[in-house]
Amino acid sequence: MAYELPALPYDYTALEPAISKQTLEFHHDKHHAGYVKKFNAAVEGTEFDRKPIEDVIKAIAGDDSKTPIFNAGAQAWNHTFYWNSMKPNGGGEPSGELADKIKSDFGSLDKFKEEFKNAGTGQFGSGWAWLVLDNGTLKVTKTLNADNPLTAGQTPLLTMDVWEHAYYLDYQNLRGSYIDAFLDQLINWDFAAKNLAKAK
């Protein structure tokens, strides 16, 4: 059964002005859809054809002969996770267990934001910034191209896409401004909290 392109969890205009309708249309309907199509074509008729996409990603990570499948599958998964890492009228502060854990593991919410922004701005070229749970501790990490924390045994809680197609129509070369908007206006703390709760 083919992996299907998930619909956006909100309208194309829901993240404006931080992310425009035009960016979401190109990013979801062209880029994300393209990865899904390539993944389905790559696994058709193989042993991976009917496996959950997460299982395929973890099974083939590091296998150079499977790089095209990994790149398409991981990018398809990463993008779905990214859409859910944002919400209309996001930002603000987390609450409950997530807030307590951010304070204990990073020192403060501001310190987390500083580390997360540094991961995003410091990612040379294309990639992702992540908040993950690693052996019971919250950490900020970054990955290059299609890589994601699943292959390192970490549990992703939220992610930010720092490929240029994620922000260039709205911010051009100002990646830092896009990251500020993500943190202040878009970040979906509820999604991160649910992922933390499931990881326990």
The binding site consists of 27, 79, 161, 165
Q: Among residues 171, 163, 160, 149, which one has the least CA distance to residue 113?
A: 160
Contact indicator for 55, 62 with CB cutoff of 8 Å: no
State the Cα–Cα distance between residues 13 and 57, nearest whole angstrom: 31
User: In the numeric block, which tokens belong to residue 51?
Assistant: 């496996």
How far apart, in whole angstroms, are the C-alpha atoms of residue 39 and residue 55? 13
Helices (H), 123-164: none
**3-state SS assignment for residue 79:** helix
Question: Residue type for 158, please?
Answer: L
HEC states along 155-177?
Answer: EEEEEEECCHHHCHHHHCCCHHH
Q: Which residues are annotated as a binding site for Mn(2+)?
A: 27, 79, 161, 165
